Structure 1
Amino acid sequence: MPGLLLSAAIAGAGFGLRQLPGLAVFSPMILAIVSGMAFHNLIGTPHRAKAGVTFSLRRVLRLAIVLLGLQLTAEQVVEVGARGLAVIALSLTGTFLFTVWMGRLLGVERKLTELIAAGTSICGASAVIATNTVTRAPDEDVAYAVACVTVFGSVAMFSYPLLPALLHLDAHDYGLWSGASIHEIAQVVAAAFQQGQQAGEFGTVAKLARVMLLAPVVITLGVLAARRARHGGHGHAGAKAPLPWFVLGFVALVGVNSIITIPADVRTMIVTATTFLLSMALAAMGLETDFAKLKAKGLRPLTLGLLAFLFIASFSLALVKLTT
């Protein structure tokens, strides 16, 4: 209970900090992990809070990802169209593979590379912590990956609205580009709506369709992890891929949301609750992150995050242009 209350309090602080001037552009999740890291490194996480912090980081996270399914419907995916889905899927796949390849060239640890790849190619911090359920990297790696996608997603959020006229993008194409390449959902919303209602709405739907691909990516990484365990001598011959039940729950709720119409006020409550639970998980992540260990990682992972960001921005833009 102490750890749960501490994680919840820091998550609440993340929501509160957004009311301050200049901080509204950041999601409560990002503010929560920053606050958690500050608390841990300046004050220290109490020993009696450890169990609750771990519970928030594991169980609360899984519940939040399941609830994310209620923010997407099959109809929204159809609205994106075959062209939009192709751009999103190719951008995601290309970015993930490029990041893994570049991580090897730069000498970045495989687990950290996979987290940066997932966060950049899918949906930011949510993808990082969901992917880590099968990657099982140290908490410092997760925090570093979240920091990377936050920094470069913020760069995209501020720079994209300056580019539509220069790149000759109409509202539809700009929305697709934003949804297919910017890291966090909140960052997509902030950037896309700068070009009007149509761009904002399509960018949001495109981003939610991209979030849908979180399920197959996590399952695939789980299968690959089990294969490495069997062939690398780190597990017994009968090792099986970790089955991420929470991802199946996510897909199931997408199905429920596609069949049942949820009232707008209830939907708003669900979205807020989901964001709060994700913020709790990231607050817990911050409470287990040591700045000294982050510093020891050096600049190579940050360079990897930058290259991944530049790749998804340019590659998805090229796809949008080529398919117009």
Structure 2
Amino acid sequence: MLHLTKPLQNQSAAGASGSTVTTLLSLLPGLALAGGIAASAMAFRALTGIQALSPLILSIVIGMLIGNLRRPPVACRPGIGFSMKRLLRLGIILLGLQITLAQLVSLGLPGLAVVTVTLTVTFAAVTLAGRLLGVDRGLTGLIAAGTSVCGASAVIAANAVVRGRDEDVTYAVACVTIFGSFSMLLFPLLMLPLHLDAVAYGLWSGATIHEVAQVVAATFQAGDVAGQYGTIAKLARVMLLAPLVLTLALTLFRARSTGSAKTGATPFPWFVLGFLAMVGLNSSVALPPALVQDAGLLGTFLLSCGLAAMGLQTHMKQLAAEGLRPLALGAFGWLFISGFGYLMVRLAGF
């Protein structure tokens, strides 16, 4: 009997191993396509030297161009799906290594209050405006997250609990990209008319502009002090991404129950705990700067892969079907966070 069991166990192990290899091989075409797009986007920014060109945005644009000109082969679908789910979440986790608690503390209580209150009130205002405009609930949540927190990264993270369609994610990313770019171009021109010194301007920009790259581009034009305050304020918003996603999972987008049965159950965003763990690690251990930099590049690459995959699956006709109301919602969010953030900076005494 013993002699019969061992061959069966060996066959079972061999079968499991063969299945794993087959699964990995099925992912390769899609991973190669998404990875190639992401690498091209990162290389383009490096070659041009234009730091405001986010690889995340470039990746989704390139993916959409390719996907609309010619749909990816069926063989690419498993890898594209893997990129949209697993790689995106791993990229969010690695984002935590770019933040330390000491950076947040350096803003001081007034600065942290500006960032936190602006984020919270903006999210609530955009959510309410979305209802009044009749915008789909999921798309409203994504635009609200992207506007109030940190652009494309927040849209990606929030979608883990919002569970919007690929078109919703793409539309939300487009909104935060367009209006964040407006801020990047206009804010430097408003510094003097609004009577903002370097600290106040950096804090205002970091608390209101959508993407990290856009904040860097807008604030360092006003000098190193403005750039440093802008970057730290922006990282504080990124840190608040974790509690926002957890709150969404437990409140607005929690599982709905019908009697004893649950419908539309929202999965718990475990990757957020990984994000917080990386923040804790980076705050408690002096990690080598080269390691942190490499982790940042890897995180950007993984996020770009996911957005490239999303772009490949998004078609312009489906985006056009959303209409102009979501765009109006994005415009409202942009104007609201810009104005309310400025008011908060003034009330805080900056």
Length-normalised TM-score, structure 1: 0.96
Measured in 1, the distance between the counterparts of 2:76 and 2:231 equals 37
Inter-partner Cα distance in structure 2 for 1:226 and 1:234: 18
* Aligned mate of 1:130, from 157, 160, 168: 157
Identity %: 54
Partner of 1:246: 271
Residues 226, 119 of structure 1: CA spacing in aligned structure 2 closer, same or farther, 3 A cutoff? closer
User: In the aligned structure 2, how far is the partner of 1:136 from the partner of 1:298?
Assistant: 20
Instruction: Give the distance between the partners of 1:81 and 1:125, measured in 2 at CA.
Output: 27
Aligned match of 2:296: 271
Which residue in 1 is equivalent to 2:21? none
- The answer on 1:143 being equivalent to 2:170 is yes
Q: Is the 8 A contact 2:255 2:266 kept in 1?
A: no
Distance in 2, matches of 1:196 and 1:111, equals 39
Deviation at 1:236, TM superposition (A): 2.1
Q: Is 1:4 aligned with 2:31?
A: yes
**2:344 aligned residue (294, 304, 319):** 319
Superposition pairs for residues 1-324 of structure 1, below 5 Å?
A: 1-19=28-46, 24-225=51-252, 227=254, 229-230=256-257, 233=258, 236-237=261-262, 242-324=267-349
User: For the Cα contact (< 8 Å) 2:149–2:240, is it kept in 1?
Assistant: yes
1:134/1:167 Cα in 2 relative to 1: closer, same or farther (>3 Å)? same
CA deviation after TM superposition for structure 1 residue 269, in Å: 1.2
The answer to whether the Cα contact below 8 Å between 2:60 and 2:304 also exists between their aligned partners in 1 is yes
CA 1:226–1:162: 2 relative to 1, 3 Å:
closer
Deviation at 1:226, TM superposition (A): 5.5
Distance across 2 between alignment mates of 1:169 and 1:234: 56
Comparing 200-209 with 24-33, greater Cα deviation is found at 24-33
Shift of residue 25 of structure 1? 2.3
Deviations 1:103-122 (A, max 9, x none): 11111000000000000000
TM-aligned CA deviation for residue 242 of structure 1? 2.6
Going from structure 1 to structure 2, the CA distance change for 1:243 and 1:4 (only over 3 Å counts) comes to: same
Distance 1:240 1:145, change over 3 A: closer
Q: CA shift at 1:227, angstroms?
A: 4.3
Going from structure 1 to structure 2, the CA distance change for 1:53 and 1:227 (only over 3 Å counts) comes to closer
Contact 2:122/2:336 (8 A) holds in 1: yes
CA contact (8 A) 1:127 1:214 kept: yes
Count of paired positions: 322
Deviation at 1:241, TM superposition (A): 5.2
Q: Contact (CA 8 Å) 2:104, 2:236: kept in 1 or not? A: yes
- 8 A Cα contact 2:34 2:309, kept in partner: yes
2-structure distance, mates of 1:260, 1:311: 38
* CA deviation string 1:88-133 (max 9, x = no partner): 1111111111101111111100000000000000000000011000
Contact 2:204 2:345 in 1 (8 A): yes
Task: Mark the runs of 5 or more structure 2 residues left unpaired by the alignment.
Answer: 1-27
State the distance in 2 between where 1:136 and 1:62 align: 14
User: 1:185: how far off?
Assistant: 0.6
- Flag the structure with larger Rg: 2
The Cα offsets for residues 265-321 of structure 1, whole Å up to 9 and x where unpaired, read as: 222211111111111111011011011000010111001000000000000000101
**Cα separation, 2, equivalents of 1:204 and 1:24:** 14
Hey, what's the Cα distance between the residues in 1 that align with 2:237 and 2:285? 22
The 2-side partners of 1:20 and 1:42 are apart by 26
State the Cα distance separating 1:238 from its structure 2 match: 8.9
* Residues 1:226 and 1:323: Cα distance change in structure 2 (over 3 Å): closer
Residue type matched to 2:248 in 1?
A: L
CA distance in 1, matches of 2:125, 2:142: 13
CA contact (8 A) 1:36 1:284 kept: yes
- Structure 1 contact 229–235 (Cα < 8 Å) conserved: no
* TM-score with structure 2 setting the length: 0.89
Query: Shift of residue 18 of structure 1?
Result: 2.1
- How far 1:66 sits from its partner (Å)? 0.6
Runs of 5+ unmatched residues, structure 1 = none
Q: Deviations over 1:1-22 (max 9, x none)?
A: 1111100000011113325659
The alpha-carbon deviation at position 163 of structure 1 amounts to 1.0
Distance 1:239 1:33 in 2: 28
Equivalent residue letter for 1:35: I
CA distance in 2, matches of 1:185, 1:89: 17
